[in-house]
Amino acid sequence: MSFRPPAAFTPSDGTTLLALDYELAAEKADALGRAGRKVEAALAALERAKTEGAAATLCAELTDGAADLVWALFLQREICGFRSQADAVERYQIPRDVLARVGIGRRRAEP
């Protein structure tokens, strides 16, 4: 399989990318894929809990967890150069209640 980097990674002087540049691009893509799979799993668990009529506290915890993972996905997408998150929201079908909690700092219970 050949890999052709995006134009944004091509040096302006016309030289080819170094092997390290390819490795960095591959690692960014791999991290983005891992973040996406985590979001998919969290959203599936949330949907399953809602469908099964789980307790409100469990649904709230799952929503918070999914929101944290969505935030991580958004950050990874920005690192990769994607500035709009609209396509990710559509692709992963992220519910509004999860989007409303993205980026919110939550208090942790005192031990």
Q: Is 104 left (phi over 0), alpha (psi -120 to 50) or beta?
A: beta
pLDDT tens profile 58-106: 999 999 999 999 999 999 999 989 999 999 999 999 999 999 999 887 7
* Two tokens, residue 104: 């919110």
Does the pLDDT at position 16 exceed 70? no
E-state strands within the chain: none
Which of 23, 21, 28 has its CA nearest to residue 79?
A: 28
The residue behind tokens 């591959």 is 26
Regarding predicted confidence, which is higher, 26 or 7?
26
